[in-house]
Amino acid sequence: MSMLSALARAEAMEAMEAVPLTAFRHRRLSDRPLVIVPLTMAGEAGAPLAAIAGTSRRSPTLLVVPQPRNRDHRFAFAAGLGQIVTQYIDSFRQDRRGEGAKSRYTDAPQILLPNPGGIKALADLGRMCRFRSTSGPYAVPQVVPEFGRWLTFLVEQAEQAGTSVLLPVTGLLAEHWATGQSSLEDQNLASLMAWIAPPPGVGVEQAMADAENPDVCPPAGPATSPQFDNRELAPAIKRFDTAEDEQALAAAEQELRELVAEQVHPTWRIVWDAVALLRSVPQAPRAARRFEDDCFAFTRFCDYQDSGAALPQRKRDTAIGAARRLSRLERALESFEADKAFDDPFVLADRRSVGEAFAGPVTQAEPGRVQIGAGNRRLPRPLVAVRTEDPVRLTPGTRLISPDMPAGHKAQIVSVQPEGEATLIVVEVTGGMGRARIPQAGSVPVLGQRLAYLPDPGWRPSPQWPADEGTAWTHHGAGPDQESTTSQDDAAEGWGHDD
């Protein structure tokens, strides 16, 4: 946590009111998101209990598993939820533009969940569904494995910083507001909303107390309250299991639906309240460009699904696949952090406070400096010196971008020298000056101009990965002289892409 973030939390605690951390909302909010509130049975891994889903606050669909330990009931639930999700996804496959590698759908789905636990619940459900067979013994409906593959795709996209296809609402709120509670407590949606927008006429203290009382505000899932499980859910499931005729069975199932509805509807309402609140925050300028990356990823996966050769994703990555994934996630995080700082003065100030960016006036300038490049070509390479009082952790050679200069402006640190209580940073301008021998007007900082710089996230070269067959057997499979100890279940992990 940076100094400014800690200060914002202290101010929130003192005022008993959430404090904005950013000037913009850095995630895109769809005009028609699909909200899902999943519930799982406590103590039963991969046993869904219920889910409420829909694209409208007023017309949700509630799905309940009468007996979560029953395989047929679980997959009937998966088929029902799968129909909702796949129909929602297909609705975004109407408008496609471009040709060849640039062809993409113009819109992409967005699924919102109450908290990060919901993403874990969907990941478990996707793994349970995507390996199922639609024929032979224990066959499941056709939509189930397709639903599992889509869930896995969405969960994998959610790991990437800056994406907007699968998001926890608590994460969206915590990115924009600081509260007086811990980051762990911020994962409680009701408690977080109590800080940001308590009900009319109710103070933050009372709203927080209500949010933490499961009888007043049931948990947002995916696990239900232990008191509810022991006092109401377990007896209701037992009555369903022991029903002796169709009438008793229907009555027990209806009782379960009513019990579960009481648990999920409060969270459903809070999620939509949070969405309305987030819409009031202006969207950051660069969020639209990141959404284009979501559209490309969505298009590629749709094409793969339509190819007729779609296989379930691996349970575990290979060594090279894991390295590729880690590299991709690191690059996405760097790009997202840079985009936020570029767009948002609050985020830029936060990075300046920890030495990851700097700002100050230009105290020296050499706008006419040139270098001789290949073929005796004269290249403009102006030098400017920026005097800053910010702590600086950047080193010579770091490539820079600036939100205060025209688009395309590139620079590089030449030297970092202390100057009393300040620091003098000499910067060489390397791009964004046009193609003429003389830089375009306004493309080079001038004496006395105040500007900020932060590291360019795209300067690192792309790593070169060896093929799977080129890796040592210790990182790929059994050795040539050793018997494989892979079980039949693990053998299925070879399905899908390596990355």
Spatial contact of 54 and 35, defined as CB atoms under 8 Å apart: yes
| Whole-number Cα distances in Å, 292 to 105, 108, 164, 289, 299 | 9, 9, 10, 5, 10
Q: Residue 465 — pLDDT band, cuts 50, 70, 90?
A: confident
Q: Is 41 exposed, middle or buried (0-12, 13-18, 19+ CB in 10 A)?
A: buried
Model pLDDT, residue 143: 94
Give the phi and the psi of residue 178 in degrees, each rounded to 5. -100, 135
> 384: helix, coil or strand?
strand
Prediction pTM value: 0.88
Model pLDDT, residue 45: 66
Residue type, 317: D
How far is the C-alpha of 395 from the C-alpha of 416, rounded, in Å?
7
- Residue 468 pLDDT greater than 90, yes or no: no
Please provide the average confidence, as pLDDT, over all residues in the chain. 87
Least confident range from 12-21, 36-45, 82-91: namely 36-45
Model pLDDT, residue 223: 86
Model pLDDT, residue 499: 40
Least confident range from 307-316, 352-361, 462-471: namely 462-471
Least confident range from 123-132, 245-254, 486-495: namely 486-495
Tens of pLDDT, residues 274-292? 999 999 999 999 999 999 9
* Strand pairing category for 383-388 and 399-401: unpaired
Q: Is 70 exposed, middle or buried (0-12, 13-18, 19+ CB in 10 A)?
A: middle
How far is the C-alpha of 343 from the C-alpha of 356, rounded, in Å?
16
| Whole-number Cα distances in Å, 75 to 48, 69, 82, 493 | 10, 11, 10, 21
Query: Tokens 């994703």 — which residue?
Result: 313
Model pLDDT, residue 483: 38
Q: Report the first-to-last Cα separation within the chain, whole angstroms.
A: 32
Tens of pLDDT, residues 92-146? 998 898 888 889 999 999 999 999 999 999 999 999 999 999 888 888 999 999 9
Spatial contact of 119 and 126, defined as CB atoms under 8 Å apart: no
Beta partners for residue 413, in sequence order: 427
DSSP annotation of 457? T
**Ramachandran area for residue 162 (φ above 0: left; ψ -120 to 50: alpha; else beta):** left
For residues 36-42, give the mean pLDDT: 88
> 7: helix, coil or strand?
helix
How far is the C-alpha of 153 from the C-alpha of 86, rounded, in Å?
13
Closest by Cα among 150, 160, 152 to 127: 152
Token code pair at residue 187: 């994962």
Model pLDDT, residue 434: 82
Model pLDDT, residue 476: 58
Query: Tokens 């028609």 — which residue?
Result: 32
Tens of pLDDT, residues 343-401? 999 999 999 999 999 999 999 999 888 888 777 778 889 999 999 999 999 999 999 99
Closest by Cα among 374, 430, 371 to 398: 430
How far is the C-alpha of 123 from the C-alpha of 360, rounded, in Å?
46
How far is the C-alpha of 469 from the C-alpha of 467, rounded, in Å?
5
Q: Residue 228 — pLDDT band, cuts 50, 70, 90?
A: confident
| Whole-number Cα distances in Å, 64 to 37, 136, 217 | 12, 26, 20
How far is the C-alpha of 314 from the C-alpha of 137, rounded, in Å?
23
Within 10 angstroms of residue 299's Cβ, the number of other Cβ atoms is 19
Query: Tokens 């690191």 — which residue?
Result: 330
